[in-house]
Amino acid sequence: MVKDGGLVAFPTETVYGLGADALNPEAVKKIFEVKGRPSDNPLIVHVASIEEVYPLVKEVPEKAEKLMKKFWPGPLTLVLKKKSIVPDIVTAGMDTVAIRMPDNEIALAMIREAGTPVVAPSANIFSKPSPTTSDHVVSDLYGKIEVIIDAGATRIGVESTVIDATTDKLMLLRPGGLNLEEIEAVVGRVELHPAVQMMPIVNGPSRSPGMKYKHYAPDAKVILVEGSDERIVGKVNSLITRYKRCGLVVGVITMRKHGLYDADVVKFMSDLNAFAKGLFSAFREFDEVGVDVIIVEGVEERGLGLAIMNRLRKASFKIEKA
C-alpha cells in the first residue's frame, strides 16, 4: 500500500500516524492535502532500524548516535542534516530532516513491509487533537485514505520528543513522550527552545515550524488554570460557577480526587502517565457530549508534565493565573 503511493494510518506508541512513502513526493503531497496541513510544516520520517538513518542524512553527530542507541525504538525524534535523497516536500524546504524509530511492532512491521522510510504526521485533521485510538482516525479521515490499522489505544498518548541534534549543542524543539530528564542523563544539558514553554520566539524563523500553529484544540474553549497549589481549587470552582451561570456546559480535567468540582463532566487523571494518555481523548469526548468550556488544572513541568503543559497551552483559548 505505502510502496504504491497510498496512505496508511497506523498505531505508534505515541499517537496514530498517517503514513506514506517518504521518498515519493506525490504520496507525501497527499498527506498535506488530506490533513489540510500547511505545507511549511515538515514531517517526521519513520524508520525500522538505526542503519536506515545513514542514507538519509549528511552526518550523525556523536550525541545523536548515543541517543538513537539508548532510546530507539521509542518516542524520540532527532533532527539531522538531510541528504538530497529526502524530498523537499518532506522537510518543507529545510536542509534538515526529522527521523524516529517508533516503539510499536505493527508500525515497525509496516515500515519493513513498505521497504522504504515512512513519513507520518499524526493522523488527525490539522488543528484537531492528535488521535490516540483508531476511532479518532476514523472520525477524521475515513474514506479519505486507503487503510486504517486498528490496534486499540496508544500507550503514551502525546507525540514524540523532538530534539535538534544537527550539532552536539542539542536543543529541545518539542517536549513529548520521552522525558527531558532521561535524555539529559545520557547526553548532558539540552537547551530549551523558547516555544517549548510558549515564550515569544525571539527573532528569526522558528527552528521547528510546527510550533507556531495552534494545535490539538477541541471545539470547546480550553481554559488552563496555572498557579499556586493552594489557590488553584478556589480558582477552578469560581470559574465553574461563572460559566455555568452563563448557561454553558462545563468540563474539568483534574488530577485531584473526585468530588471536588461541581462541573457537568469531570475527567480525573490519576497521574501524569494517565494524563498524557487520556488528554486528547478527553478533548474529543468533551466535544462529543457538547461541553462548551473545558477548565484544565495545570501540572508541574517535570517529567511528562513538560509535554502535557506544552499541549495544554497550545490548545488554550485563555490561561488563568490562580
Contact residues for ligand TXA, defined by CB under 6 A: 12, 14-15, 17, 41-44, 75, 77, 79, 91, 94, 96-98, 102, 120-122, 159-160, 162, 173-174, 207-211
Considering only CA atoms, which of 43, 30, 211 is closest in space to residue 122?
43
- Segment near Mg ion (CB under 5 A), from 87-95, 99-107, 119-127, 297-305? 119-127
Report the alpha-carbon distance of residue 319 to residue 303 in Å, rounded.
21
Q: How many CB atoms lie within 10 A of CB 237?
A: 16
In sequence order, the β-bridge partners of residue 161 are 76
Residue nearest to ligand TXA (CB): 210
Asked if residues 137 and 160 have their Cβ atoms less than 8 Å apart, the reply is no
The secondary structure of the chain in percent helix, strand, coil, rounded to multiples of 5, reads 35, 20, 45
Q: Which of 258, 277, 269 is nearest to 299 (CA)?
A: 269
Residue 77's binding partner out of Mg ion, ligand TXA, none, with CB under 5 to 8 Å set by partner kind = ligand TXA
In the numeric block, which cell numbers belong to residue 175?
Answer: 517536549
From the list Mg ion, ligand TXA, none, which binds 91 (C-beta under 5 to 8 Å, kind-based)?
ligand TXA
**What span, in angstroms and rounded, lies between the C-alpha atoms of 33 and 89?**
12
| Binding region for Mg ion (CB under 5 A) out of 40-48, 116-124, 136-144, 255-263 | 116-124
**Least Cβ distance, residue 42 to ligand TXA (angstroms):** 3
Q: How many CB atoms lie within 10 A of CB 90?
A: 25
Number of residues that bind Mg ion (CB under 5 A): 1
Report which of 55, 2, 56, 45 is spatially closest to residue 27, judged by C-alpha positions: 2
Site for Mg ion in 130-169 (CB under 5 A): none
Helix (H, G, I), strand (E, B) or coil at 150: coil
Report the C-alpha gap between 168 and 72 in whole angstroms: 18
In angstroms, what is the minimal distance from the CB of 44 to ligand TXA?
Answer: 5
Residue 208 engages Mg ion in binding (rule: CB under 5 A): no
Q: Which of 122, 154, 161, 281 binds Mg ion (CB under 5 A)?
A: 122
Number of helices (H) and strands (E) in the chain: give both, helices first.
9, 15
Q: How near is the Cβ of 14 to ligand TXA at its closest, in Å?
A: 3
Please report how close the Cβ of residue 223 comes to ligand TXA at its closest, in angstroms.
24
CB-nearer residue toward ligand TXA: 15 or 225? 15
Cell of 39: 505545507
What backbone torsions phi and psi does residue 55 show, to the nearest 5 degrees?
Answer: -65, -15
Residue whose CB is less far from ligand TXA, 24 or 160: 160
Which cell is 210 given?
510546527
Report, in Å, the least distance between residue 178 CB and ligand TXA. 10
Q: Supply the minimum distance, in Å, between the C-beta of residue 271 and ligand TXA.
A: 21
User: Which is closer to ligand TXA, CB of 120 or CB of 180?
Assistant: 120
In the complex, residue closest to Mg ion by CB: 122
DSSP letter string, 225-239: EES-HHHHHHHHHHH
Is the separation of the CB atoms in 208 and 215 below 8 Å? Answer: no
Nearer to ligand TXA, 24 or 122 (CB): 122
Nearer residue to Mg ion within complex by CB, 140 or 226: 140
137 binds, among Mg ion, ligand TXA, none (CB under 5 to 8 A by kind): none
Q: Which segment (117-125, 131-139, 271-279, 310-318) binds Mg ion by CB under 5 A? A: 117-125
Q: What residues line the site for Mg ion (CB under 5 A)? A: 122
